[in-house]
Amino acid sequence: MKVLNKLSHPGSGWALGFRSENKWIKTFNGLIKFNGKKVKSDTLFDLASLTKVVGTLPACFVLMKEGSLKLDKTINYYISNAGWFKNPSLGDVKIHNLLTHTSGLPAWKPLFAISNEPTVLHANVLQTEISNQRKRLYSDLGWIILGHIVERITNTPLDQFISENLLNPLGMKRTFFNPISHNEKLNCVVTEDCGWRKKLLQGIVHDENAFAFGGVAGHAGLFSNLDDIMIYMESWLNNLETIGLQNQAIKVSHYFQSFNGLPAYGLGWRTFPSLEFSGVGNIEGSLGHTGYTGTSLWMNIDNQQSVILLNNRVYPSRLDTCNSINEFRIKIHQLCFDQQLTF
């Protein structure tokens, strides 16, 4: 703990889990909010973009296993009229391009300023202009489309499909979208004092576009706690065998996409080397992901090591905390993998 206590961090609190030598070690620091309850093992954090790899990616794997989702099929195969009258057309983009952030889609657009009707928002995303070049550009929009494709294939709401096919089988009982509907507001770490929504966000998804989708989207929206994410990462260290997705998990390593020295992406996961300012650290042979609210996951399957960091760096404001959370993440990840943390 001496090393941890010397590390400054943004936000009001954090939860940290580290797995090495076949055992998990966990610790907590800070409060749900200033002058609030202490962060504990069951405290819920807004996972932000970790939703992509904790929810949407394994949902896609389930459909890949069934054969109803194929990496080499185009968006138009699943959703007709995507990119209609556009050249190049989004409809010609393949599923593996969405998963590896090589679709040509921009990173983001302010959907929340357009509508709060999912049908309108999905139609808008599907008419987004794409780049002629399939360069690597991290895109929320691609994962919104993936979540929509899951719903179209299964005729099931995304949150329900993820719960029934991933969270429940793994025993992740406190991982869900829209925690207020589960009477969990007071167990959630606060995020931002949001000027747009004119309230301090607690149990409400921080991501504006996910909020516009009703709190459920392929790119963001999940809330979880340290205990549940430990279950999830343990399953990944075993190639998702516990839920029968080992063949799909192994495919991750075969789809790395690297461009001009920028970080490579497998299916969903970022991998070494990470040369951009991403806050995931340079840990060779590892996979990881980060979330805008301050969360991160990092693992080395060969060494059976994993780091989980849950944090609310956007509290009370997102301003001026990007650098500090990136520095904090990198130090935490590297110290854990080097086994230099004292708990």
For residue range 143-159, list pLDDT tens digits in order: 999 999 999 999 999 99
For residue range 289-342, list pLDDT tens digits in order: 999 999 999 988 888 999 999 999 999 999 878 888 888 888 888 888 777 665
343 in a structural domain: no
Confidence of residue 1 (pLDDT cuts 50, 70, 90): very low
342 in a structural domain: no
186 in a structural domain: yes
**Beta-sheet pairing, 222-224 with 199-200:** unpaired
Structural domains counted in the chain: 1
Q: Give the pLDDT score at 254.
A: 58
What is the distance between the alpha carbons of residues 288 and 296, in angstroms, rounded to a whole number? 7
The identity of residue 123, as a single letter, is: A
Enclosing domain of residue 331: 2-337
Greatest distance between any 2 Cα atoms in the chain: 60
What is the distance between the alpha carbons of residues 343 and 340, in angstroms, rounded to a whole number? 10
What is the distance between the alpha carbons of residues 172 and 223, in angstroms, rounded to a whole number? 11
pLDDT over 70 (residue 43): yes
42 in a structural domain: yes
- The residue with greater pLDDT, 135 or 291, is 291
pLDDT over 70 (residue 8): no
Mean pLDDT confidence for 55-59? 98
253 in a structural domain: yes
CATH code of residue 146? 3.40.710.10
244 in a structural domain: yes
pLDDT over 90 (residue 257): no
190 in a structural domain: yes
Q: Would the pTM count as exceeding 0.85?
A: yes
